[in-house]
Amino acid sequence: MVGLPARGKSYICKKLSRYLNWCGFNTKVFNVGNRRRVMKKRESITPTAPDSLLRQIPVEDASTPIGLPGETTHDAAFFDASNQEAKELREQLAMDTLDESIAWLRKEGSKVAIHDATNSTIIRRKALLQRIEMEEGISAFFIESICPEGPVLEKNIKMKLSGPDYVNMDPQVAMEDFKQRIRNYEKVYQTISPEEDQRLSYIKVVNVGEKVIAHRIRGYIPSQCVFYLMQIHIKERVVWLSRHGESLFNIQNRVGGDPPLSPRGLKYTEALVDFIKHIAITPPDSPGSPDLDDIPKDERKFQVWTSCLQRAMEVGDRFDPKETSVTNIKFLNEIYSGQFEGMTYEDIKRWHPDEWQQRQENKLLYRYPGAGGESYLDVIERLRPVIIELERMQSGVLVVTHQVVMRTLLAYFLGVPLQEMPTLSVPLHTLYCLKPKPYGADLYRYVLDESTGRLEFAGEGLE
């Protein structure tokens, strides 16, 4: 990463890491600031700690905020380029963090390491590249985050003041110290350009996705990063997720197929549509409604996405086309069970015990036999365009889909490890409200109260 403080570098790191991990590329972020804060904590215990101690500090140790009431771990003077001792220490911390990331990449299964730091000078970036060039089979490119003066920068600065560097500090004192830190960096900051090194590969992201520039980007993963970064933004919106209502196959414990809804499923469908109409669809002229000028024309109606299976499409059929835009998307169909479509789980276990055992041992990798049979990883692959579109959207959307797809979408937004994804609990007749945030997503649940026929708030997070 490259960029001044409060330019959204860590936000981009976390989003990119979450996306790449979800896509199956084992990714980890290595934050130099965390190492610095841990180093300060160790210094307070052992002031004369040797330099070698710094190299032994794992980044995870900085997960807990550090600092005494009214103190910052390092004030603005630590980031002054004229402070030679601090400058040398900052350079050492950056290189030690790079060494840690390289060591991690050498482990089996590791794919992408993200070096999260300002890396704001040509000298620093050259030193990083020289170190990486010593390693066979590892390549690198830079992502520079640029935020000119304006609302995005002001919002980023306010977020920084709630971080571990300023815990328990007077807000005004913290604000002045952080702004001085930025001024210190601005004195020496050098943006990336081809003149720096003609061989340099980099992506520039302006205002967290408003503009993206790619230079000498080669390979599958770097290209995927460019495409993903072109979609992200920090505007608030809500994503509603729900499985279809109970179907006849749910009652019979059958796999897949295209059955109709049961009477209970129809009751949930009616409650879901009524809830969304009254809670999620905001008339354009009502208080609190978004400014239509800020929303793309194709999103000014509330969006409803369903799979192409009848038990999901019945939801879309009940919305008023004047208020909503309903789209049936095949990518949202349930995992295809191949030759097991329409069978009961009991029959699969009885007549195909080897297949049943393979699925029990590894649901993530298991692919149903027969033409078109899918695995969870296949579902992830076909859902990539859906995730990209959900990231791009700036207005609300309701997604009505199926159990495996629900697990996959929730795993992306909540950062659930892939191995845990197949066991996520996503019961029928439950509506999830996702509110994407800079460092993840808030999740709220609403469940059907069958005595009243209404959806009621049931708590935060997954069950």
The answer to whether 181 and 76 are in contact (CB under 8 A) is yes
First and final CA of the chain: distance in angstroms? 36
Closest C-alpha among 380, 263, 398 to residue 323:
398
- The angle at the Cα of 198, spanning 194 to 199, to the nearest 5 degrees, equals 120
Catalytic site positions: 116, 147, 334, 402
Task: Tell me how far CA of residue 129 lies from CA of 16, 157, 214, 234, 424, in angstroms.
Answer: 21, 30, 18, 31, 41
The answer to whether 185 and 200 are in contact (CB under 8 A) is no
d(CA 458, CA 223): 41
Backbone angles phi, psi at 94, to 5 degrees: -65, -45
Which residues, 6+ apart, have CB-to-CB distance to 452 below 8 Å?
none
d(CA 449, CA 10): 41
Weakly modelled stretches of the chain, pLDDT under 70? 40-73, 282-300
pLDDT at 297: 57
CA 23 to chain centre: 11
Residue-wise pLDDT tens digits, 175-210: 999 999 999 999 999 999 989 988 899 999 999 889
Task: Tell me how far CA of residue 463 lies from CA of 241, 272, 403, 427, in angstroms.
Answer: 15, 19, 15, 9
pTM: 0.89
Look at residue 405 and give its three-state secondary structure: helix
pLDDT at 23: 97
Task: Tell me how far CA of residue 169 lies from CA of 210, 333, 403, in angstroms.
Answer: 33, 51, 46
